Amino acid sequence: MDIKTKNYYELLRNRKIINILDGDIEFGEFSLPESNSPIKLSMPYLSGSVICDISNNFGLAVSYGWNSGAKSRWIYLDDLLAHCIKNGRESDLLAFLFSKKQFVDKLRGYIPISIEVAHRKIIETVVSQINGILYFGGYELYTAEQRFLIRKTDVAITVAAPVVKKIDRDYIRSISERAIEDIANSNYDSAITKTRTLLEEVFCYVIESKNEKPNDSGNIGKLYNQVKTLYGMHQDKNMDNRINMLLSGLEKIVSTIAQMRNGGSDSHGLGIKRINIDEYHARLFVNSAITMADFILAVGDKSA
Cα distance between residue 197 and residue 191, in whole Å? 10
Question: Is residue 161 domain-resident?
Answer: no
Is 199 in the same domain as 138? no
Domain final residue, candidates 98, 120, 152 = 152
Q: Which residues of the chain have pLDDT under 70?
A: 1-6, 67-69, 145, 154-166, 216-218, 234-240, 257-276, 304
Measured on CA atoms in the order 57, 61, 63, 64, is the torsion positive or negative? negative
Cα distance between residue 38 and residue 32, in whole Å? 7
Backbone angles phi, psi at 152, to 5 degrees: -80, 145
Q: Which residues is 149 bridged to in the sheet?
A: 142
Other CB atoms within a 10 A radius of the CB of residue 278 amount to: 9
Biggest CA–CA distance in the chain, Å, is 84
Question: Is residue 164 domain-resident?
Answer: no
Is 146 in the same domain as 9? yes
Is 121 in the same domain as 76? yes
Residues, the chain, total? Answer: 304
Question: Is residue 157 domain-resident?
Answer: no
Is 287 in the same domain as 201? yes
Question: Is residue 134 domain-resident?
Answer: yes
Question: Is residue 160 domain-resident?
Answer: no
Is 48 in the same domain as 97? yes
Question: Is residue 158 domain-resident?
Answer: no
pLDDT at position 158, please?
A: 47
Cα distance between residue 102 and residue 23, in whole Å? 11
Backbone angles phi, psi at 274, to 5 degrees: -65, 140
Q: Which residues is 142 bridged to in the sheet?
A: 149
Count of structural domains, the chain: 2
pLDDT at position 23, please?
A: 94
Is 197 in the same domain as 133? no
Is 18 in the same domain as 131? yes
* CATH code assigned at 265: 1.20.120
> What is this structure's pTM?
0.51
Question: Is residue 217 domain-resident?
Answer: yes
pLDDT at position 46, please?
A: 94
| Inter-residue contact 125 to 27 (CB < 8 Å) | yes
CA dihedral in degrees (32, 33, 37, 38; nearest 10)? 30
For residue 183, give the H/E element and its range: helix 169-184
Pairing, β 39-40 against β 29-30 = antiparallel
Is 20 in the same domain as 147? yes
Is 139 in the same domain as 191? no
Backbone angles phi, psi at 150, to 5 degrees: -125, 135
| Inter-residue contact 251 to 223 (CB < 8 Å) | no
Is 81 in the same domain as 212? no
Domain final residue, candidates 126, 152, 178 = 152
Cα distance between residue 31 and residue 37, in whole Å? 7
| Inter-residue contact 27 to 53 (CB < 8 Å) | no
| Inter-residue contact 9 to 78 (CB < 8 Å) | no
Q: Which of 257, 303, 297 is nearest to 277 (CA)?
A: 257
Q: Which residues is 30 bridged to in the sheet?
A: 39
Look up the domain containing 212 and give its range: 169-303
Domain final residue, candidates 111, 126, 152 = 152
Backbone angles phi, psi at 29, to 5 degrees: -140, 160
Question: Is residue 159 domain-resident?
Answer: no
Is 277 in the same domain as 200? yes
Q: E-strand spans in 236-296?
A: none
pLDDT at position 163, please?
A: 44
The full DSSP string for 106-128 is HHTTS-HHHHHHHHHHHHHHHHH
Angle (nearest 5°) at CA 26 between 103 and 106: 20
Pairing, β 29-30 against β 147-152 = unpaired
Is 143 in the same domain as 183? no
